[in-house]
Every structure is written in C-alpha cells, then in structure tokens.
Amino acid sequence: MLKIAKNRLNELFAAIAEKQTLYIPVDREDGAAEYRKWENGCEMSGALNTVRSAKDFFFPQTENLVDFKMEGKNIEVIDIRKESEDFVIFGVKACDARSFTILDKVFLVDPVDSYYKTRRDHGTVVTMACTRPSETCFCGVFGIDATAPEGDAACFSDGENIFFKANTEKGQAFIDSISSMLEEGDTAKLDEVQAKTKSILEKLPLANLSTDSFGGARLKEHFNSDKWGELSEACLGCGTCTFVCPTCQCYDIKDFNTGHGIKRFRCWDSCMYSDFTKMAHGNPRLTQLERFRQRFMHKLVYFPANNEGEFGCVGCGRCLSKCPISMNIVKVMKALEVK
C-alpha cells in the first residue's frame, strides 16, 4: 500500500488543490468541525466527524434550479447551470461514505436528478478510516466497517503515516495523480491500529443493537404500535435530527420574485415540520406523533422495503448528540424491538 508521512499532509493538500478544488474537515472556533475549501494554512480537523455531513456537496442545503424572466404573457425559462468543476472531498468517514449509496438510490433512479448526478460525476470521495470511534457510533449495526471505509479512495492512519487504497477507477485516478508524493509502506503497524479499533467498536454501548425487528415485513405491526405516543410526546418538531442526518433527502421547491424575474430554488425540508408536504386541502399528517412516526418508519421500514433490505440510517450518531430532548433512532429501535 502507498503512503505519505502524516507531517506532509499539507504538502499533499497543496498538490491536490493545484489540480482540483479540495475540501477537508476543519475545526471551527467552537471546537466543532465542518468542511471547508482547503487554502494555505488550513489544518485538517482531528474530530471524529463534522457537525453536518458531506451530503452537502451532492445535495446542498439550498440550490437555485432555474430562473424565469417574464415580459407580459411571455415567459423565458433560463437554465442557470454552469459546467461543474472537479473536486475532492478528503477525510470522509465510513458512515458518511455509505450515506452516498443511500442517496444514490433516491436521486440516481429514473427520473435521474441531473443536479445531483452532475456533482456525483465531478466529485471524488476520499475516505478516512476511524481510529477513535465514539460511544454514540453504531455504524456496524448497518454492516459498515469503520476501519475499511467505502468511497473512491480510502485512507488509513497508523499515527505516523497515511496509507492509500483505491476502491474505484476514480479513486485509482486520484492516487495516480499524487503518486509522485507517495512511497511503498509497511502496513504492520497499520494492522495493529485497525485491530485495536475493531476491538473498541465491539465494546461500544450500541454495538449489539439489532435491526432484526425491522424491515418491510413489520410494516403494519410497527405502524400501529401503541408506543409512538410516548416516544413522540416530548418531540419539539425542530427538525435538528433531519438537518444533521447524512441520509435525509426531503426537500421543498419554492419560487422567489426578485422584482426582475423569478428564481426557483430547492431547500432541505423536514418530515418533522407541521407544514411538510402541505397541499391545498391541508397537511396529511396533522399531529406530531404522525410526523415523528413517519421519520422513523421511513428509516427502518419503508426504505428497506423498497431497497432490498438496506436501511435509511448509517449509525453516525449525530442525532444522538444533537437532539435537544435526547430522542433518537436508537431509542425508537429499542422501544419497538420485537422480543
């Protein structure tokens, strides 16, 4: 496996940024991490994960779709899209990398979302294996190996060096583009680090969480459960869980009159909001219980029922740490577990 010394990472980033736009996780002033465009002096964060996931690069929180120019009864439709630049997202964790697979099953099936597809085509995902998983992590429940992440190319650290492995043709092209800076490396110490990480993963509080009670076959049983009332009772409907989630894909489309024309844009939406999917006759889910149930039924029942058993959660743990009332998908799974 090819490697580079960890203390040469900034040299590597500079070389990548000469050819493509590069984004890395960077620490904010409050200590949390977020993705930013790499510039000279940027240091990669050592945080387990970013506050918001890398989903933003392919499905941004807001994006303009099309403009309309109106003159009398004449309407001109203006395609505002420009040729997308190639870019690299470096340091994506295994949970977020799997989320792209889930999003692909939404946006890349007919009719294909061309906005999303263009970004996927131009983006190269370079993942980083975990070495310090948190107590809120449970990606292994969904078959994700935090020590062997997906993505176009995967990176592994033994503390002193960063090793590279290609997972796709795009990933191999990325490694080839930086090969002059890499050298063959002994993976003995790396194997020790991975073994230690797996040992930690096996001992995490949520390591034994099971998905056996969920999936399409349990639809009516879970939908009609009398436990939703108690589970949703304290829910604020704030939408925090949906906005930090790497797999949530709901959005709204709105038109904005600029005074010189109309801009049509889409923005993230949340099934936890009272006006979500509101139509002329009203909202199909009138209570917070119904909206709460929709979110978790989609993750645990509806999505796997329509996607060959794949769940709509990657166990990143963001909703566990960010929910203001400490309600999350783990508590729902434990409450609805069939004994």
How do residues 309-339 score in pLDDT, each as one tens digit? 999 999 999 999 999 999 999 999 999 998 7
* 119-139: average pLDDT: 96
Mean pLDDT for the chain? 94
Residue range 96-125: average pLDDT?
Answer: 97
Band of the pLDDT at 132, cuts 50, 70, 90? very high
Predicted confidence at residue 278, as pLDDT, reads: 79
pLDDT of residue 83: 76
**What's the confidence (pLDDT) of residue 224?**
95
Q: What is the pTM of this model?
A: 0.93
pLDDT in tens, 41-93: 899 999 999 999 999 999 999 999 999 998 888 899 999 888 789 999 999 99
Confidence check: pLDDT of 274 > 90:
no
For the segment 282-316, what is each residue's pLDDT rounded down to a tens digit?
778 889 999 999 999 999 999 999 999 999 999 99
Q: What value does the mean pLDDT take over residues 215-233? A: 94
pLDDT of amino acid 281: 75
pLDDT band at 117 (very low <50, low <70, confident <90, very high): very high
**The pLDDT of residue 89:** 98
pLDDT for res 82: 83
pLDDT at 47: 92
**What order of strands is seen across the sheet that includes strand 251-257?**
74-78, 62-71, 262-268, 251-257
pLDDT score of 339: 74
What tokens appear for 84 in the block?
């997308």
Task: Please give the average per-residue pLDDT across 169-191, as a whole number.
Answer: 95
**Owner of token pair 């465009």:** 37
Cβ-based neighbours of 106, under 8 Å, separated by 6 or more? 249
pLDDT above 70: percentage of residues in the chain: 100
Confidence (pLDDT) at 285: 85
At 264 the three-state DSSP class reads strand
- pLDDT of residue 279 exceeding 90, the answer is no
Q: What is the mean pLDDT of residues 120-148?
A: 96
DSSP 79-120: ----PPPPEEEEEE-HHHHHHHHHHHHHHSSSSP-HHHHHHH
Angstrom distance (rounded) from CA 293 to CA 229: 9
d(CA 35, CA 37) in angstroms, rounded, equals 7
Alpha carbon distance 101, 122 (integer Å) = 16
- 17: pLDDT strictly greater than 90: yes
pLDDT given for residue 21 in this prediction: 96
The answer to whether the beta carbons of residues 54 and 94 sit under 8 Å apart is no
pLDDT at 259: 86
Q: In what order do the strands lie in the sheet with 2-5?
A: 33-37, 21-27, 87-92, 123-128, 153-157, 161-166, 2-5, 183-184
For 3, the token pair is: 């490697």
pLDDT band of residue 14 (cuts 50, 70, 90) is very high
Q: According to the model, what pLDDT value does residue 5 have?
A: 96
